Amino acid sequence: MYAGKLVFAQVMEFASWHTFRRLVSKYRGDFNVRSFSCLDQFLCMAFAQLTYRESLRDIEVCLTSQPGKCYHLGLRGNVTRSNLADANERRDWRIHCAYAQALIRIARRLYAKEPLALELDNTVYALDSTTINLCLSLFPWARYRPAEAAIKLHTLLDLRGAIPSFIHISDGTLHDINVLDLLIPEAGAFYVMDRAYVGFARLYRLHRAGSFFVTRPRANARFRRLYSLPVDRSAGLICDQHVELTIAHSQQRYPERLRRIRFKDPDTGKTLVFLTNHFELPALTVCALYKSRWQVELFFKWIKQHLRIKRFFGTSENAVKSQVWIAVAVYVLVAIVRKRLQLDLSLHAMLQILSVTPFEKVPLFQLFSETAHPQNMLSPDNQLILI
């Protein structure tokens, strides 16, 4: 019988705790704290994410039902609903934000050599946002519309491993295009985004930084054709052109030429127009790059279904941002575990296993390996003969 650590404690061993302690010290998270530290808060909230807890009371009852095991989970403070509520209300959310970003940097190094569906050596990012609706009476600080509240999760997803490299949490009124001002462009990288991010001054900033973008132009954009390349119409391509902007203020913001590709989707029959500043890639590769943007949509759908970011344990801005950033940290931590143990399981399968085994004493690799390769425990010889 394995007499080692609990499954939850083994997962937490993959976290960088010296970085966490440094951030707690930087933001004075444990200043004047007696019994329930920032580490206790993080572990409780991470436990809630992994085991799908629904409320603070649910977290308290679940953990206090196993008093002999809380210490082995890493918890040293008194786990109560009031302690956890106060921590979410008062502890600076920037601790968990910076810690999640530190884990993201670790995960991106681990997934740097993951293959892409496309034959590209460049880093490919998909940029998009998702809206999380809230109750205005409970979250008045997140006013979105006259009778609605919401927050937006702006995400730049590295398509190698589906690891978010940049996340910004805002209220619902921040337009997507403004997020481009917060990004630091990476030379040689591709940024794939929809037409909500089309602002020619911002796109020109990406271009001057040596980055490439693939997007779709808005309906009111006007271009003048400079040169047409031959295309294979049997593959769905209609045209591949070098163009320049004709409207005066747009041309001032983006004074150089662009590449416009028109493509008819053989499955839906829709005609799509793509805009990019890369002139060497095959036209079909540019179309496939834009299609890969749907991975960020799948990422949003996945985290909304499998992480606790739609129901919040607190109503203040600090509590909401703390919960979202801890959810991101848990997602990235499970991705780190998957890569370091070289597992073939999906993140969804890993989370399902972890949700029912936090108090078990089974080595992680054995736990996931037995699930990936289940043994048939029923012998045919033991079956009843019915006929």
Give the per-residue SS3 of the chain. Answer: CCCCCCHHHHHHCCCCHHHHHHHHHHCCCCCCCCCCCHHHHHHHHHHHHHHCCCCHHHHHHHHHCCHHHHHHHCCCCCCCHHHHHHHHHHCCHHHHHHHHHHHHHHHHHHCCCCCCCCCCCCCEEEEEEEEEEECCCCCHHHEEECCEEEEEEEEEEECCCCEEEEEEEEECCCCHHHHHHCCCCCCCCEEEECHHHCCHHHHHHHHHCCCEEEECCCCCCCEEEEEEECCCHHHCEEEEEEEEECCHHHHHHCCCCEEEEEEECCCCCCEEEEEECCCCCCHHHHHHHHHCCHHHHHHHHHHHHHCCCCCCCCCCHHHHHHHHHHHHHHHHHHHHHHHHCCCCCCHHHHHHHHHHCCCCCCCHHHHHHHHHCCCCCCCHHHCCCCC
Which tens digits make up the pLDDT trace of 160-192?
888 899 999 998 899 999 999 999 999 999 999
| Total number of domains constituting the chain | 2
Does the pLDDT of residue 379 top 80, yes or no?
Answer: no
pTM: 0.88
Report residue 309's pLDDT band, with 50, 70 and 90 as the boundaries.
confident
Does the pLDDT of residue 293 top 70, yes or no?
Answer: yes
Residue 115 in any domain: the answer is no
Residue 53 in any domain: the answer is yes
Residue 341 in any domain: the answer is yes
Residue 116 in any domain: the answer is no
Residue 11 in any domain: the answer is yes
- Do both 318 and 264 map to the same domain? no
- Do both 29 and 85 map to the same domain? yes
- Do both 328 and 367 map to the same domain? yes
Does the pLDDT of residue 385 top 90, yes or no?
Answer: no
Which tens digits make up the pLDDT trace of 78-107?
899 999 999 999 999 999 999 999 999 999
Stretch 143-168: mean pLDDT, rounded? 91
- Do both 274 and 352 map to the same domain? no
Residue 62 in any domain: the answer is yes
- Residue 272 structural domain: 195-292
Mean pLDDT of the chain: 90
Stretch 313-326: mean pLDDT, rounded? 94
The percentage of residues in the chain with a pLDDT greater than 90, rounded to a whole number, is 72
- Do both 258 and 334 map to the same domain? no
Segment among 241-255, 294-308, 329-343 with least mean pLDDT = 294-308
- Do both 47 and 86 map to the same domain? yes
Stretch 43-57: mean pLDDT, rounded? 93
Stretch 211-221: mean pLDDT, rounded? 94
Stretch 279-291: mean pLDDT, rounded? 93
Does the pLDDT of residue 384 top 50, yes or no?
Answer: no
Residue 200 in any domain: the answer is yes
**Burial environment of residue 329 by CB neighbours within 10 A (0 to 12, 13 to 18, 19 or more):** buried
- Do both 199 and 274 map to the same domain? yes
Residue 287 in any domain: the answer is yes
The percentage of residues in the chain with a pLDDT greater than 70, rounded to a whole number, is 95
